[in-house]
Every structure is written in structure tokens, then in C-alpha cells.
Amino acid sequence: MTPLLVVAASALTLGAGTPLLLRRLRRLERWPTLAAWLWLGSSIGALAAVALAGLLLLLPTDPLGAGVAELLRTCVMALRTALSTPDASSTATLAGMLLVAIVAGGLLLGGLVAGLRAWRAAGRHQDLLALAGTPAVGLPGVTVLEHGRPFAYCLPGQQGPVVLSSAALRRLDAGQLGAVLAHERAHQAGRHHWLVLLTRVLRVGFPWLPAARLASQAVTMLVELAADDAAARAHGRRQVAAALAALGDAPVPTAALGAAVGSATERVSRLLTPRRQGGALALLGGLLLLGVPLAAQLLAVVLPLARISTQVVRRNLLG
């Protein structure tokens, strides 16, 4: 199988097959942060394979000029032969340029659109807090909004504010409040907002890619599970579960992450259910689902290049 076909198969596997199988590995939730990176790695690896396929199609074969250019042309022809890529016909060149442009353009579009949305949402909410928020007595870094529904969330940044509604303060006891604050601080310490923003960049820039579409929802839930686990280590799983049950499924702003994001019922059940054995196999399976296609596309290009380098060295030594 030629390197170009291997890279194309890797793109298809990482872009469509791997995310579908990751959804079935429910026990990856024991390692939510690692699972989130597996989801992101699937999307990024698929896009890297698409760009690499484009570059393989773009390898030039026309002479570049005289002198040194002729030597460069000879080397490129050797590389093309080793990599078994098609001749530089207009169709192959156009296809290569299109693939590279799709990846570069998608990253640019997704970064601009998703980044601008997040920046505007965070700015609007900061303005709201400045107008309607009041500092919580005895809780540094916490802002209270007067509201009839209980909610809690945090804005980006390790020193960003944690926001509680007045109803949440009334409903949560001291232990539950501590668990909620630990949950929100875990989001900020783990920079979970950036992980979620990255999935939104990929979803906006590459809506045709199954891995990008599925990763957005998966990573949003996984960072909540990671924050649950961090809070549970400090306050106990039952205390965190009780706090989640008290908050329910309250909505949070676009730029924020909150304790009530996702299905509170599922997360409470996860916290209260004893962990089953077999999670290590799920972790190994997830690593293989990502690692094998990535290794295949890397080796498909590196091994022929190494062979060419060896041949050049031998010729120089013999010459």
C-alpha cells in the first residue's frame, strides 16, 4: 500500500471510525481528562492526515532552473518514487492544493468565528457582573447574582470569577457549597474552557468531519466529569453528588462552565455508583484507536524518507 493510501486510510479512520468507537468505551469516563484529549486527538489527527495527503500530491517534479535546481529536482523525483505519489499532473496538484486549503481555511475560519463568539460572550457577561453582581461575603473571588434559580458557573482564567445565584446560596449547605466551589476552581485550574473552545473551533471550521462534531459534545461532558472528580477528592463523592442534585440542570452562559452543565442525573449516578473493574482495558483500547492510525501515517512517510537518506549516504561514501 502506498504512503498516500495509508495516509488517506488514517484520515478516514480518525475522522469517522475512531470517534464512533470512542463513544462505546463508556469506562473511559474513569479518566475524563485523558478521554477528552483522545477525542481532540482524533479530530486533529484526521486533519493532519488530510493536510499530509495534500502535501504528498503537491510534491513538484518540474525543473526549478539550472545548476542546483537540477539536483533538487533529482532528489524530489527520488522522494516521489519512494512515496509512490502520482506525477505532478494538474489534477493531482489541484487536489493537493484543495486539501491543504480546506485544512488551513477551516482552522482560520473556526478560530475566528468561535474565538470571536467566546470573546464577545465573556465580555458581555463581565459587563453584567459589573452592573448586577455583588461580591460574596466570606468567599473571595465569588460573585453573587440575584436570581430565583440555583446555578453556579465560572468564567475563563485561573483568576476568573465564580458566579453563584442567590438561590444557590440559600439552597446549598456549607459542605455542598464547598464542593461546588471546588468544582468551579477545578475548571479554571485545568483550563477546561480552552479545551471546550478548541472543540468549538474544530466544529465550526470542519462541520463535515464526524470527529469534530462528536468531540464538541463529548469534551464538554468530560471536563465536567473531571471537575466532579477533583471536587470529590477534596469533599467526597456524596457531597458533590448532593450539590449537583441541589443545583439540577440549570443553564449557564456560553462562555462559562458550570456545575450543572450536562445531565445532573447521570453525573450523580456516576458519583454514587461504585467503580467497576475493566477500565484499564477501555483506556488501552482508546489509546490504540488513536495511536495506531497516527503511527501508520507517520511511518508511511518517515520510512521511505529514511530509505532515501540511507541510499544518498551510501552513494556519497562509495563515490
Low-confidence ranges of the chain (pLDDT < 70): 1, 59-89, 251, 254-255, 258-262, 277-278, 305, 308-309, 311-319
pLDDT at residue 1, as a whole number: 52
Residue 191 lies in a domain: yes
pLDDT at residue 63, as a whole number: 38
E runs forming strands in 73-193: 134-135, 142-145, 152-154, 162-165
Please tell me whether residues 29 and 44 are part of one structural domain.
yes
With 0-12 CB in 10 A as exposed, 13-18 as middle and 19+ as buried, what is 313?
exposed
**Number of structural domains, the chain?**
2
Residue 127 lies in a domain: no
What pTM does this model have? 0.83
Residue 125 lies in a domain: no
pLDDT at residue 84, as a whole number: 53
Residue 258 lies in a domain: yes
Q: Structural domain of residue 34, as residue ranges? A: 1-88+277-319
Residue 220 lies in a domain: yes
pLDDT at residue 99, as a whole number: 92
Please tell me whether residues 218 and 233 are part of one structural domain.
yes
**CA 68 – CA 70 distance, rounded (Å):** 5
Residue 61 lies in a domain: yes
Integer CA distances (angstroms), 295 to 27, 46, 48, 79, in order: 24, 12, 12, 20
**CA 212 – CA 207 distance, rounded (Å):** 7
Residue 126 lies in a domain: no
